[in-house]
Amino acid sequence: MWVLVFLAVNVFAQSAPLPSWNDTAAKKAIMAFVGRITKEGGPDFVPPAERIAVFDNDGTLWAEQPLYFQVLFAMDRVRALAPQHPEWRDKEPFASLIKGDMTTALAGGEHALLDIVAATHFGMTTEEFERVVKEWLATAKHPKTGRPYTEMIYQPMVELLAFLRANGFKTFIVSGGGVEFMRPWTERIYGIPPEQVVGSSGKLKFEMRGDKPVLVKLPEVDFVDDKEGKPAGIQKFIGRRPIAAFGNSDGDLQMLQWTAAGSGPRLMMLVHHDDAKREWAYDRQSKIGRLDRALDEANARGWAVVSMKGDWRRVFPFEGH
């Protein structure tokens, strides 16, 4: 099915670019930018090797409510592993999660989340973790829509990825999410191969298990790819300053600032979640995907703010045309 979706998107990119976008200022800004930088001999022409576009993932390429999907994955893993850990029945945040009480489980804030992630992500080999992620994505359903999480992607952004690649861009994910969580599925869903995914990561340890070499996930943070970490991650793992950057929250602000600071034509865009009917409406006060400082800076500096309600004809692939 996904092969057919990408074939269709690629055809649209060539004949009717960005069909899920309304013909508003946001779409016109994309079209004008790509037209400028791909016009050979023009003053703003950018060679293909320098056409780097970076995308946040949570809230930019797929939904992030009611919780980041990787957190929901970790919670499901706690429940799946609970029979092997009887001590969790009397230990928070695990006891509440096992009872289905997410509010109490998350009352511990960041510390509770770290405990959940540490208990469910580490100690496995990278191959084991990849298998678990793929199995979860194949069976888990979003709590509001009942759809697989891999269907909770934004159709307009999938089209944008394909359109940029059709015009010589190399597209990267630069996300605060775990890199080992994203890499197993991004190529199938977005057309972005694992080597073009930059994310937060834990340390790995090489081991020989019998005669087989493996990499084991350790309970130690190696790199946090959020806020100030995003420009650092771009430099460390990509090595070129992007000419286009797309985000949706204050966690993406520094990535957009870094992109904007380069010379020549630049495109910075923020996805604004303002469609409570088709998705969710949230920004300045949200605990998930807060958009406050970045929205102010976008308005002050003339960056494009994409209204989900006004600029997108449809949000998800499963919606009607």
Torsion sign over Cα 269, 274, 318, 130: positive
pLDDT digits (tens, 9 = 90+) for 266-310: 999 999 999 999 999 999 999 999 999 999 999 999 999 999 999
pLDDT, residue 219, reads: 87
pLDDT-above-70 percentage for the chain:
95
Q: How far apart are CA 134 and CA 5, in angstroms?
A: 20
pLDDT for residue 102? 84
At residue 124 the predicted structure's pLDDT band, cuts being 50, 70 and 90, is: very high
**8 A C-beta contact, residue 30 and residue 18:** yes
Q: Is residue 321 very low, low, confident or very high in pLDDT (cuts 50, 70, 90)?
A: low
Least confident of 40-44, 91-95, 108-112: 108-112
Tell me which of 5-14, 176-185, 238-247 is least confident.
5-14
pLDDT at site 13:
41
What confidence score (pLDDT) does residue 4 get?
A: 46
pLDDT of residue 33: 98
pLDDT at residue 92 is higher than 60:
yes
Domains and CATH numbers, the chain: 2-65+147-311 (3.40.50.1000), 69-139 (no CATH)
Write out pLDDT tens, residues 36-85: 999 999 999 999 999 999 999 999 999 999 999 999 999 999 999 999 99
Does 11 have pLDDT greater than 80?
no
State the pTM of this model.
0.92
| Average pLDDT score over residue span 156-178 | 97
Instruction: For residue 187, count other CB atoms closer than 10 A to its CB.
Output: 14
Q: Inform me whether the pLDDT recorded for 127 exceeds 50.
A: yes
Q: In Å, how far are 61, 62, 70, 156, 298 from 316, measured between CA atoms?
A: 10, 9, 19, 8, 25
Residue 119 confidence (pLDDT) above 90: no
Mean pLDDT value of segment 239-257: 98
What local confidence, expressed as pLDDT, does residue 121 receive?
A: 86
